[in-house]
Structure 1
């Protein structure tokens, strides 16, 4: 069993896979999509690396089906379900906390206007907002909570939650599994030996757009709020 050595381990998906295997992966996906404290946990990279270890994970937990496709499908389905449950918990929390937050006074870390902006965002983008949030770190942690706060329709949220969870889980887990197979057969490269580089690439791909959006969005907001001289 893997042992905790440094804080870097908390950002390393392979650490969790070797520490707790299948069940820990499901818990992390649940926590990252349903609990405030889960925003720092690896999501995209964990799914990708889990895909590489799919056969081992299913074999150790249930016994292999004898088919790498079925093993990978079982893993992706379970991860999707964990993500769906996590989002529903986050939505429920936001729904219950919403009235209190609307009555709360503005502070350094809280602006009531963001609640109204979030409501307008869901009204404008609908299904796309919930589905695409799955692929954005940090955003996927707070999205279901905000959806509950702004009282997005429960049935619509559940529908979009299910679609987003399955797209997210299947695309990343199958990409990890079959890209590893492709690199081993075509180039004799085992991706398990290059996980650090893979994780860095995934983090850059998933976080750079968010950072750019935040910087330019904040700049535009500041310009709009600046008084005309």
Structure 2
């Protein structure tokens, strides 16, 4: 039984098909928010170059096609679910992580506008799961959503897969260090939300300073 939180385990069990299924679930279905999209893409690219993890070797064109198809079709499915089901689809969930993701997705839309928010969400775990149905709920036009989610989806999938492939072809025996490499990718994927939290706190502190001076 593969470990759903382990990219290497998923790729060993399901190969290229697993890339499509994981990305479709993570970007199109709310229950897929916990799946390791970033590390899966990078590891898949690595396995295209090295054939690590028990002799698994993936085809680079196949992985790129599966990744793009899963991410793009998943996002369109999420948008459609949001348009049809409305806010009830998110109100039913009791997941603390999904709730936080919804709030951050709403902040992205308010701060950056539709296009930029849809692209940026691809690089933030959980947010890339909830922003697609949220965009459907708030009435982002289907044509505009499709354009920007395709741009973001291709940059995200192709960039991470080629990043893993480039590392695998440039560093000999990098597959021997697969777990540390994946750990680094996971850590990097957490940087955007951490930086966003820090920026929000700085803005909140800056906004509170004038009121303190007035009170004094």
Please say whether Structure 1 and Structure 2 have the same fold, judged by a TM-score greater than 0.5. Answer: yes
Q: Which residues of structure 1 form unaligned runs of 5+?
A: 185-189
Picking from 25, 42, 47, the partner of 1:48 is 42
1:136 matches 2:124: yes
Q: Which residues of structure 2 form unaligned runs of 5+?
A: none
Picking from 133, 137, 143, the partner of 1:145 is 133
How far the C-alpha of 1:97 sits from its partner, in A, is 2.5
- Map 1:84-163 to 2 at 5 A: 84-98=72-86, 100=88, 118=106, 121=109, 124-163=112-151
Picking from 173, 176, 193, the partner of 2:176 is 193
Contact 1:53 1:177 in 2 (8 A): yes
Contact 1:118 1:150 in 2 (8 A): no
TM-score of the pair, normalised by structure 2:
0.77
- Specify the alignment match of 1:214 in structure 2: 197
The verdict on how the C-alpha distance between 1:75 and 1:122 changes in structure 2, with shifts beyond 3 A counting, is farther
Q: 1:139, 1:42 → 2: CA distance? A: 13
How far the C-alpha of 1:118 sits from its partner, in A, is 2.8
- Specify the alignment match of 1:176 in structure 2: 164
Count matched residues.
201
TM-score of the pair, normalised by structure 1:
0.73
1:202 matches 2:196: no
CA RMSD after TM alignment = 3.6
Deviations 1:164-212 (A, max 9, x none): 111111111111112111012xxxxx22111111111111111133034
Q: 2:18, 2:89 → 1: CA distance? A: 32
The verdict on how the C-alpha distance between 1:128 and 1:83 changes in structure 2, with shifts beyond 3 A counting, is same
